[in-house]
Copies of this chain bind each other. A is one copy, B any other.
Amino acid sequence: MSVIIDFSIFPVGKGESVSDYVSRAVKIIKESRLPFKPGPMGTAIEGEWDEVMAVVNRCFEALRKDCNRVYMTMKVDYRKGESGRMEGKVKTVERKS
């Protein structure tokens, strides 16, 4: 029942470097205890839909408290009856490519 999301969030109008804000989100993702995988363009998170959305919500609240403008992108891949897919997806493609 799990979903995997790719998630990125950053402020617009806080200068060219946004890593302090991105780090705030990644800290929240870590604290969630959900499996995650950091990447250069976003963080992948796996879990039940409600769990994952709760984390996204916390990240958004953490940035909007002191950022006038926040930009976020998300991709979601849901597949019925499967969990622990995050590692599996990468391995399957690695093996086949």
Contacts and interface: CB of A to CB of B under 8 A. Distances in A.
Given A23-B93, A78-B69, A93-B26, A6 B53 contact: no
Contact of A41 (B5, B64, B69, B70): B5
A92 B24 CA distance: 12
- How many copies of the shown chain assemble into the complex? 4
Task: For chain A, give the interface size range.
Answer: 35 or more
Chain B CB within 10 Å, residue with most, of A16, A40, A60, A85: A40
Contacts of A53: 53, 57
A84 B5 CA distance: 26
Chain B CB within 10 Å, residue with most, of A12, A26, A41: A41
A78 B94 contact: no
